[in-house]
Structure 1
Amino acid sequence: MTPDLVSLLTGFGSGLALIVAIGAQNAFVLRQGIRREHLPAVLAVCILSDAVLILAGTAGIGRLTESAPFLVEVLRWAGAAFLLVYAGLSLRRAIRPSALHAAGSGSGSMAAAVLTCLSLTWLNPHVYLDTVVLLGSLAATHGADGRWIFAAGAVTASAVWFTALGFGARLLAPVFARPRAWRVLDLGIAVFMAVLAFSLLRTPV
């Protein structure tokens, strides 16, 4: 196995290990995939955002967050606030049957979906630690040339995961043809988002 292939596969495995862990972003992609609502735009935001962050970390931007920890602290509070708001909206949908929408109804605007996805991605301080700092540090161990191959592997892992999650969620569409299933999903998302928010507030990143 050549050194370049080792760097590529290591980057792919490292990126996948960090991205697959369930989080606010993944939960949102899952919901959009089940609803078949603005999925290409949402996936594009997730994949391009990860690519920008991974490449920034590979280029050495991770040192900025290490030298200016207050930036991470600001993101921690802003992210927690947004997660609580999103949890409240999900809880409202779960409580009010009139707020539920069948899969494929297309009720939400693309702008709202994109803005929500951007917020869940860029207001999450953990994304900077995972992609910029951690993956950037791992990439640096592969040398001047190998680090970019490592980054390419990590970016590919992100694209593969979000595409599989988004389009694979359609397999669950028959289950979510019933309004009760949507209420359970939204209630679960509300609890999950609230737990994430309080974990951010309780434990400094």
Structure 2
Amino acid sequence: MSNILIINAHHYYPFAEGKLNGTLVHMADELLRAKGHKTRIVEVDKGWDVEQELENHQWADIVVLQTPVNWMGVPWNFKKYMDEVYTAGMSGALCNGDGRTEEKPKANYGGGGTLTGKQYMLSLTFNAPEESFSNPDEYLFRGKSVDDLLFPMHMNFRFFGMTLLETFACYDVMKNPEVEKDFQRFIQHLQANITG
């Protein structure tokens, strides 16, 4: 069984209270614990302790990032979390610097991760409809995928040596939500990618 860190990166707004992301976190926690995994949950909006978060990442076999996508990226409070926690982890907790050496100062940038053998999964909520992605005729994303859009997040985890589990996404959650279908797909996704 695995140790699983679930990070709820939602930031409260009056028009987006975080109920969907909170419910997905709760569902993941319940399902994973029922299958014998150990879980820890971090709610970024409630604040964090940097040393505890470094320990959480070292403890975890899998990190699940549950986040809305705001303006094509993660909420600002999770970016602050990354700036504080991940920068503190550069001294060996998450990586040994940036991977370069004095002998090869221009090679292997990003290859210093100390979390090799660990995995991560992005679970995303979008206002955008699913059809707006991976279609070259669509106005905004021009054929790009969800993972293309979240490329910087993938690189952050890769910087620590972690490998990707398949990304999950709920689409059109504000204008045309299909919450019950999303919940069913989420359970199937966790079963296929984590619980077996």
Which of the five TM-score ranges fits, normalised by the shorter chain?
A: under 0.3
Q: Which has the larger radius of gyration?
A: 1
Structure with the larger strand share = 2
Structure with the larger helix share = 1
Please, what TM-score do these two structures have when normalized by structure 1?
0.25
Please, what TM-score do these two structures have when normalized by structure 2?
0.26
